[in-house]
Structure 1
Amino acid sequence: MTPTGGTGLGPQLAALGCAALVDAMGRVHRHRSYVLPLVSPDPGSYLFGPAATLSYMPYRDDVEQASETFADFFYRAVEDSPAEKVLVLSSGGYPDVSHGGGTKLSRVANHGLAGVLADGRLRDFGELGGYGFSTWCRGESVRWGGDTVMPYAAGVTVEFGGVCVVPGDYVFADASGAVVIPRRSLTRVLAEAHQVVTEDAGFVEMIRAERNPFSGRH
């Protein structure tokens, strides 16, 4: 996998894989933490870092937020320490609509974020794939979506694919899906994930040694 984002723990999480992390989360917490597989301009990459959240809502021209730009919400979301964060975009109820593209999201590269996790579609996969950060979303779009959804709030708790994401949660995504890990639980979840991998390896050895009870019967 291409290491295109996240803190120094990124390679360790990538080696463990999303499934082991989800299993570990299930041992530590009871809430849903996983997102089903997403699409990326670089499907060999992984994404890891603390969440900087941006909430979308259905577009209305009579609310105050409609007069603000994506840039306004972006800078509120990442605050004064954008490096290695993951920009998490909620869908506003429209996961099949574009929530951004290569031009707006060039800010992610400019400010050193780990990447983007979007619960909607994005435009300009060619551009996004060349920026050097990891992008995961619902798919590519060719149509602008600003007449359907609009940025509404930044730095707030959002819903993403049925998962509650709090600013500062750690987000990991790869080709198999994504997982959201509460900040305070990261060390424990990592330890549990290593245990999951060890246990699975032991089960594989046990299965390899199994005797077929029907072998030799006629």
Structure 2
Amino acid sequence: MKTGTRDKLRTVSTPTVATALFKRGFRVQAIQDVHPLSPDQPTLVGEAFTLRYMPAREDLNTLDVFRDRSHPQRKAIEDCPPGAVMVMDSRKDARAASAGAILVTRLMKRGVAGVVTDGGFRDSAEIAALGFPAYHHRPSAPTNLTLHQAIDINVPIGCGDAPVFPGDVILGDKDGVIVIPAHLADEIAAEAVEMTAYEDFVAERVHAGQGIFGLYPATDPKSLEDFAEWRKKNNR
């Protein structure tokens, strides 16, 4: 990402970014069925660092595996770069936890931007209280060892049916999480800022009682003239 792209993305919404991506033919970039653990958590922006789980094989997935410092789950927690977003492919299965409060706290203390799983977290109330951007499908009590086996770090994954490549840009807000292909992040951010300005103008007009024909989308040239005046007046 160019300098300033991260700040731009913090000012726009996932629906707006979804529209910008759709214009370019991207239809499956929204991570499905993930939700913020806290309604008050900050907007999530960062480059993806991934962890992939597979179905656990019992003889290879015992408590003893955590003695190994190269265990993929533990290693990913310590290797995820500051400012990045850890994104976990948990097979859309929340019956076992992708992680818990201790591991998520470690990510936060290391300066990671946030964490997303299409499975679930244990200790979800504790994680929600951290003020750290975290998204999952639903709370999960059991350890991941019961069903999942961490297998790959920083490889292409599927998370909630969305393709996530290492370095892709993740945006999460109260509506959900969307994945921006890395090579498009700067232009998507710039376009989304412009779209947001127009949407704010439209919202103000609709609240004032104006109809949407010609306004949204802006098929009436008068709408664009009014928008230009609104931008100047509101320093947008």
Give the TM-score normalised by structure 2: 0.74
2:40 is matched with which residue?
Answer: 44
Q: 1:60 aligns with which of 50, 57, 82?
A: 57
Matched residues, number: 205
What SS does structure 2 have at the residue aligned with 1:186?
A: helix
When residues 67 and 55 of structure 1 are mapped into structure 2, their CA distance, relative to the original with a 3 A threshold, is farther
Is there any run of 5+ residues in structure 2 with no aligned partner, and where? 214-236
Describe the superposition over 1:98-154 as per-residue Cα deviations: whole angstroms up to 9, x where unpaired.
Answer: 211112323202311011101111011232134442111111122323111111111
What SS does structure 1 have at the residue aligned with 2:44?
A: strand
Mapped contact 1:59–1:66 kept (Cα < 8 A): no
**Are 1:89 and 2:88 counterparts?**
yes
Q: Pick which of 26-35 and 70-79 moved more.
A: 70-79
Structure 2 letter corresponding to 1:48: V
Give the TM-score normalised by structure 1: 0.79
Q: CA deviation at 1:182?
A: 1.2
Describe the superposition over 1:185-208 as per-residue Cα deviations: whole angstroms up to 9, x where unpaired.
Answer: 111111221343344456554881
Mapped contact 1:27–1:192 kept (Cα < 8 A): no
Q: Pick which of 86-95 and 14-23 moved more.
A: 86-95
- Partner Cα separation in structure 2 for residue 38 and residue 93 of structure 1: 9
Q: Pick which of 201-210 and 166-175 moved more.
A: 201-210
Query: Which has the larger helix fraction?
Result: 2
**Are 1:120 and 2:140 counterparts?**
no
Q: Pick which of 46-55 and 31-40 moved more.
A: 31-40
What SS does structure 2 have at the residue aligned with 1:16?
A: coil
**Are 1:27 and 2:23 counterparts?**
yes
Mapping for residues 1-20 of structure 1, pairs under 5 Å:
9-20=5-16
- Partner Cα separation in structure 2 for residue 81 and residue 97 of structure 1: 22
Q: Pick which of 89-98 and 201-210 moved more.
A: 201-210
Describe the superposition over 1:51-70 as per-residue Cα deviations: whole angstroms up to 9, x where unpaired.
Answer: 11000111103459996449
- Partner Cα separation in structure 2 for residue 165 and residue 81 of structure 1: 15
Q: Pick which of 144-153 and 7-16 moved more.
A: 7-16
What SS does structure 1 have at the residue aligned with 2:51?
A: strand
Q: CA deviation at 1:12?
A: 3.0
Identity of aligned residues (%): 24
Q: Pick which of 154-163 and 141-150 moved more.
A: 141-150
What SS does structure 1 have at the residue aligned with 2:23?
A: helix
Q: CA deviation at 1:44?
A: 2.3
Q: CA deviation at 1:34?
A: 0.9
Structure 2 letter corresponding to 1:160: C
1:185 is matched with which residue?
Answer: 184
When residues 209 and 143 of structure 1 are mapped into structure 2, their CA distance, relative to the original with a 3 A threshold, is closer
Q: CA deviation at 1:209?
A: 5.4
Q: Pick which of 188-197 and 166-175 moved more.
A: 188-197
Is there any run of 5+ residues in structure 1 with no aligned partner, and where? 1-6, 212-218
Q: CA deviation at 1:91?
A: 1.3
Q: Pick which of 106-115 and 78-87 moved more.
A: 78-87
Q: Pick which of 61-70 and 156-165 moved more.
A: 61-70
Q: Pick which of 68-77 and 36-45 moved more.
A: 68-77
